[in-house]
Amino acid sequence: MSGGYFDRSTYAMREIADTIERDIARALKPKPEKIQEDYWTIYEKDSFGSYHNYKDFMSFGSYEDAESFLLRDKIIVKAKQKYANRRFFDDGVVYQSTKRYMSDVPDDEQIPVLYSIHHCVYDRYPYDSNVLELSDETLDAMKEAYRQIRIAEIYATRVDWMMSGDDSEDSFRERIKEDLEEFEKEYATKDWTFSDDNDE
C-alpha cells in the first residue's frame, strides 16, 4: 500500500469534498410541491420573558374552535384591556387566568398568566421530503469550496507519496501536474445534479 506519511488524512479531505458534492446535488434536485398550513393555535405566557404553546401543541380549524377549547378551562376569561394594550402578544388579543400568575415579573408586579389565539399561515414541504434550499450565490461558493478541497487533496496525496518514498521528486512534480490537469477537465464538465447518494 502506498503513502502513509500523513496517516491517511487525505481520505478525510475527499470525504469532505464528497459531502459538499452531495449537498449541492440535493439542493439542485426538483423540489416537491409545498403544502399550505393554515390553522389556529393557542399560546400561553406564564413568565414575563417568553411564551409557549398552551398544553401540548394543538391546531384548530378556526378561531372559534380554539377559543371554545381554551374557555373550557373555567379559570380562563377574556383579559382586561390593560393587558391587551401592553401587547404581550403580536396580535394584542389576550385571555387571562383568574388564578395563576406569571413568574419572573419585574418590580414585583402581579400579572396573570395570559393566553393568545394565534393564526398560522405558511407553506412547507412535506415532512418526509429531503429538501435543501440554497441560493445560487451559495451554491457557487460551495462549488469553489469543493474545487479547492480537491486541489488540496491532490497536493497532499502527492506529497504523501513522495515523503513516504513511493515517488521520486521528479515523479512528484510530474504527477501533480497530471493530476491537476485531469481534475480541471473533470471539474469543467461536472454534472452537479448527479451524486452517487442521490435519492431515487
3-state secondary structure 55-117: CCCCCECCHHHHHHHHCCCCCEEECCHHHHHCCCCCCCCCEEEEEEECECCHHHCCCEEEEEE
Q: Is the pLDDT of residue 156 over 50?
A: yes
pLDDT of residue 197: 60
Positive or negative: CA dihedral 66, 124, 122, 54: positive
Per residue in 75-118, pLDDT tens? 999 998 888 788 788 777 799 999 999 988 777 778 999 999 99
pLDDT of residue 133: 93
pLDDT of residue 196: 66
Return d(Cα 111, Cα 46) in angstroms, integer.
Answer: 9
Return d(Cα 163, Cα 172) in angstroms, integer.
Answer: 10
Mean pLDDT over each residue of the chain, to the nearest integer: 90
**Residues whose CB is less than 8 angstroms from the CB of residue 96 and which lie 6 or more positions away in sequence, other chains included:** 76, 77, 78, 79, 80, 83, 112, 113, 114, 115
Structural contact between residues 143 and 24, judged by C-beta atoms closer than 8 angstroms = yes
Return d(Cα 5, Cα 159) in angstroms, integer.
Answer: 8
**Main-chain dihedrals φ then ψ at residue 102, nearest 5 degrees:** -65, 150
Q: Is the pLDDT of residue 200 over 60?
A: no
Structural contact between residues 114 and 88, judged by C-beta atoms closer than 8 angstroms = yes
Q: Count how many Cα atoms sit within 13 Å of the Cα of residue 200 in the half-sphere of its side chain.
A: 0
Structural contact between residues 139 and 193, judged by C-beta atoms closer than 8 angstroms = no
Per residue in 37-75, pLDDT tens? 999 999 999 988 788 999 888 999 999 999 999 999 999
CB atoms within 10 A of CB 125: 14
Return d(Cα 45, Cα 160) in angstroms, integer.
Answer: 61
pLDDT band at 127 (very low <50, low <70, confident <90, very high): confident
pLDDT band at 142 (very low <50, low <70, confident <90, very high): very high
Over range 116-129, report the average pLDDT: 91
